[in-house]
Amino acid sequence: VGAAAACVAWPALLGTAPLSGRTLEVAIIQGGTAAEIAPLGSRQAAILANHARLTTARARGVDLVIWPESAVELDLSTSPSPRAVLSRAARTAGAPIIAGVNDDVGSHRYRVLAWLVSPRGVLAGVYQKNHLVPFGEYVPARDLLDWIPMLSQVPKDAIPGHRPGVFDLGDYRVATVISFEGDFGSLTRVPVARGGRLLVVATNTSTWKTSWASAQHLAFSRVRAAENGVWVVHGAISGISALVAPDGSVAASTPLGEATTLKGPVRLARAATFYTRAGDWFVWVCATLALLGIAAAPRRTRRVPW
């Protein structure tokens, strides 16, 4: 009982990462999915146009702009090109944009990316999603499972990256993860440990429609904020988008399924929390001790009289 009480009380003694860094005004552009438009190419062009329009209209004078996952499809044959649209939006806002980008690699592969575009419209950094969604962004052992009809809904496989998402914006760094990655503390803590003092979660929640999943995904970001002691900018293409404080509370959020913009202040953390620095060692130690205890337990046999 004493050991359990000590474990419960210990986190309170560790304190939180001090938020003595500069305050930033952040804008999340929730451009919507343009679901009423067909075919797919036209819908993707409309999504891009919505994000650019909302940025021009409502994101001027901020320090950082977030476009969610899948806001930009690089392979659209439109004029101006998607890259030019994104660059012009950054120049108009006068602020860097972290944008969710999809990029086809041949006819059967693609990359899920986050781009950092400078206020001058120049590509300043790229993060390629490391942890992909099985049976959502790729099909494991596709050659063996290709006979299953439902797998036709995943016609292309995404290519994983191998480096954590940390964008350098001069006097501060931003840790960036994409969608599914934000559900795992072990993945999210890495870019924060590499110097990110603000966490961006860029996600495409449109396939969940009006289910509870969007709220659940935001709940994961609330846990990530508390674990790492940082503000989280949770940008979803169709909602719910939110600004999450380091204690896990939601400072501001958007409605689900509405094209809108969320603006608000966030503050940079000055240092990392104990969890960010140490990781999940406590869980692994507990699991190891439990397994050792089971293995070392004496095995007693009892004879049953016939």
What is the Cα gyration radius of the chain? 22
For residues 235 and 97, what is the distance between their CA atoms, to the nearest angstrom? 12
Q: Which residue has the higher pLDDT, 185 or 77?
A: 185
Both tokens of 213, joined, read 């999943």
Confidence label for 299 from pLDDT (cuts 50, 70 and 90): low
Residues 212-241 pLDDT 10s: 999 999 999 999 999 999 999 999 999 899
Residues 97-106 pLDDT 10s: 999 999 999 8
Confidence label for 270 from pLDDT (cuts 50, 70 and 90): confident
User: Going by DSSP bridges, is the β-strand pair 23-30/64-73 parallel, antiparallel, or unpaired?
Assistant: parallel
Residues 108-125 pLDDT 10s: 899 999 999 999 999 999
Q: Which residue has the higher pLDDT, 174 or 3?
A: 174
Mean pLDDT of 165-182: 94
Q: Which residue has the higher pLDDT, 11 or 297?
A: 297
Report the C-alpha dihedral over residues 32, 38, 41, 45, rounded to 10 degrees.
-40
Identify whether 39 is preceded by a cis peptide bond (ω within 30 of 0): yes
Decide: helix, strand or coil at residue 226.
Answer: helix
What's this model's pTM, rounded to 2 decimal places?
0.86
Q: Which residue has the higher pLDDT, 70 or 39?
A: 70
Mean pLDDT of 256-279: 90
Residues 41-59 pLDDT 10s: 888 899 999 999 999 999 8
Mean pLDDT of 168-181: 94
In this prediction, residue 271 carries a pLDDT of 85
- Three-state SS string over 139-198 comes to CCCHHHHCCCHHHHHCCCEECCCCCCCEEECCCCEEEEEEHHHHHCHHHHHHHHHCCCCC
Alpha helices per DSSP H over 194-243: 213-228
